Amino acid sequence: MHTVDMKSHRREFLALIAALMSCQALAVDAMLPALPTIAAALGVAAANQMQWVVTVYIAGLGLGQFFWGMVSDRYGRRPVLLCGLAAYVVAAAFAAFAGDFPALLAWRFVHGLAAASLVVSRSIVRDLFEGRQMARVMSLTFIVFLLVPIIAPSFGQLVLLFASWRALFVAFSLFGTLIGVWVLLRLPETLHPEYRYTLTPAHVAAAAWRVLSERLSLWYTLAQAVTFGSVLAYIGTVQQVFQSVFARPGLMPAMFAVCAVTMAIASYSNARLVLRFGMRRLSQLSLLALIVVSVLHIAIAAQGHETLAGFVVLQSLKLACVGFMGANFGAMGMERMGEIAGLAAAVQGALSTVGGALVGSLIGRYFDASTLPLAIGVLGCALAALLCVLGAERGRLFQTQHATAAGTTAH
């Protein structure tokens, strides 16, 4: 075993962190083309039930963030990351041999629960870098992370050309194994000994109460949850939309990639524009734009004028709006969590991810071979997010400065 100084091996470090973060996106988006095949193979009659393959994974991921984030602050990044990757590999392997739909869902939940790499990889970056250097590293890795949803459905469709849907889970298992070996051989422990703390029920309860009782933290976490729910509703139903509404299931991976590109561009642009316009102005303008686009989509879908091209354009605009909202909502929710940043991030991440999974599944269950339920659901999420933002900002939008406990800071 030969670990290295990752700060001096910057390119390898960026590649490793991007690979770790990609485990989750690959496990979700590569599954989308396989959902009809899985339904036929396991005898699932109701097409809407296949959305649970995505939802239960996301729910497990949300709960897993809370657990892995806490224990990595206590026992270190490297051992927790290796344990999580091992569980990820085993869960994917068992899912590959699931004999019925309930068994598949159970292992998908465990698969998401085991996904330690997302939250631990962020902690590793925080251990090694700070300030502008940390922002730069996260931006570079996030670009790679955003490329995965663009290519993952095409990867899934390619696998299905040569093998059964079970081969996808074998691929996830092999991918996790390769990354685990990479971590074992090259990644040192990054958590400084003096930063380890003892986890007690009182400590965790106090942090959870702080997250739920502090106004900015609570409302922006809820805003993240409903916003994420609108994205999950789209991901969960997109295969059905292209199959049942447009009768063009083969086009789904390419069109999914087009929509994902707009979200990636928006997220990248946000990193540059936020310094000039501020988090509040950018995110709130984007939220209002999401409401307008959603109303337009409802009007088109209700009148029966939906086309494949129109759907892709409107959905791309919606995802671009979300791209300008997600990171900013998260940052504002953490504004007053400095002294408990690790636990606060774990609690907020769990709440927003699990909440998003519940919202996405609620919208998805109303799919009726049209795009109208999805359009209505996204509008509902956008309006709920607006109420949350108004709660966080005491009923005022577009504030350029926000008073905090430590004084007034510009945003």
The reply to whether 94 and 203 lie within a common domain is: no
Q: For position 406, what pLDDT does the model report?
A: 40
Highest mean pLDDT among 16-20, 116-120, 357-361: 357-361
Q: What average pLDDT score do residues 131-146 get?
A: 65
For residues 194 and 127, give the distance between their C-alpha atoms in angstroms, rounded to a whole number.
Answer: 12
177: buried, middle or exposed (CB in 10 Å: 19+, 13-18, 0-12)? middle
The reply to whether 207 and 237 lie within a common domain is: yes
The reply to whether 282 and 140 lie within a common domain is: no
pLDDT in tens, 389-400: 999 998 888 876
For residues 394 and 403, give the distance between their C-alpha atoms in angstroms, rounded to a whole number.
Answer: 11
Confidence of residue 138 (pLDDT cuts 50, 70, 90): low
Quote the mean pLDDT of the chain.
Answer: 86
Give the contacts of 323 (CB within 8 A, at least 6 positions apart): 262, 263, 264, 265, 266, 267, 269, 270, 286
Torsions phi, psi of 192, nearest 5? -70, 135
Tokens of 20: 């770790």
For residues 143 and 288, give the distance between their C-alpha atoms in angstroms, rounded to a whole number.
Answer: 26
Domain end position, chosen among 187, 209, 231: 187
Please report where in the chains the tokens 């400065």 appear, as a residue.
401
Domain range spanning residue 125?
A: 10-187
C-beta separation of 357 from 191 below 8 A: no
| Rg (the chain; Cα; Å) | 21
80 inside domain? yes
209 inside domain? yes
pLDDT in tens, 270-314: 877 877 888 888 899 999 999 999 999 999 999 989 999 999 999
The reply to whether 137 and 212 lie within a common domain is: no
The reply to whether 259 and 226 lie within a common domain is: yes
Q: For position 400, what pLDDT does the model report?
A: 64
Q: For position 328, what pLDDT does the model report?
A: 83
Q: What percent of the chain has pLDDT over 70?
A: 89
For residues 268 and 143, give the distance between their C-alpha atoms in angstroms, rounded to a whole number.
Answer: 7
Q: For position 311, what pLDDT does the model report?
A: 96
Q: For position 403, what pLDDT does the model report?
A: 42
Q: For position 347, what pLDDT does the model report?
A: 83
The reply to whether 358 and 235 lie within a common domain is: yes
Please determine, for residue 142, whether its predicted confidence score (pLDDT) is greater than 80. no
Q: Does 130 or 153 have the greater pLDDT score? A: 153
Please report where in the chains the tokens 């940390």 appear, as a residue.
134
406 inside domain? no
Q: Which bin fits 375, alpha (ψ -120 to 50), beta or left (φ > 0)? A: alpha
Please determine, for residue 407, whether its predicted confidence score (pLDDT) is greater than 60. no
Q: For position 110, what pLDDT does the model report?
A: 95
Confidence of residue 139 (pLDDT cuts 50, 70, 90): low
How many C-beta atoms lie closer than 10 Å to residue 83's C-beta? 17
Q: What percent of the chain has pLDDT over 90?
A: 49
Q: How many domains does the chain have?
A: 2
The reply to whether 245 and 141 lie within a common domain is: no
The reply to whether 175 and 205 lie within a common domain is: no
The CATH number of whichever domain residue 69 belongs to comes to 1.20.1250.20
End-to-end CA distance of the chain: 46
Tokens of 237: 């139903």
Instruction: Return the minimum-mean-pLDDT range out of 70-74, 96-100, 193-197, 242-246.
Output: 193-197
C-beta separation of 346 from 66 below 8 A: yes
pLDDT in tens, 165-183: 999 999 999 999 999 999 9
The reply to whether 238 and 129 lie within a common domain is: no
For residues 30 and 159, give the distance between their C-alpha atoms in angstroms, rounded to a whole number.
Answer: 9
For residues 70 and 80, give the distance between their C-alpha atoms in angstroms, rounded to a whole number.
Answer: 10
How many C-beta atoms lie closer than 10 Å to residue 362's C-beta? 14
Which among 220, 211, 239, 228 is positioned nearest to 357, based on CA atoms?
228
The reply to whether 55 and 152 lie within a common domain is: yes
pLDDT in tens, 52-64: 999 999 999 988 8
408 inside domain? no
409 inside domain? no
Torsions phi, psi of 410, nearest 5? -85, 140
Helix (H, G, I), strand (E, B) or coil at 149: helix
Give the contacts of 302 (CB within 8 A, at least 6 positions apart): 372
The reply to whether 152 and 268 lie within a common domain is: no
For residues 67 and 118, give the distance between their C-alpha atoms in angstroms, rounded to a whole number.
Answer: 12
For residues 55 and 139, give the distance between their C-alpha atoms in angstroms, rounded to a whole number.
Answer: 27
Helix (H, G, I), strand (E, B) or coil at 404: strand
The reply to whether 232 and 328 lie within a common domain is: yes
For residues 75 and 86, give the distance between their C-alpha atoms in angstroms, rounded to a whole number.
Answer: 17
Highest mean pLDDT among 141-145, 323-327, 404-408: 323-327
Instruction: Give the distance from CA 13 to its chain's centroid.
Output: 22
Domain end position, chosen among 159, 187, 215: 187
Tell me the whole-structure pTM to 2 decimals.
Answer: 0.81
Instruction: Give, in degrees to the nearest 5, the angle at Cα 357 between 376 and 106.
Output: 135
Give the contacts of 293 (CB within 8 A, at least 6 positions apart): 314, 317, 318, 321
pLDDT in tens, 313-346: 999 999 999 988 887 888 788 777 756 666 777 7
32 inside domain? yes
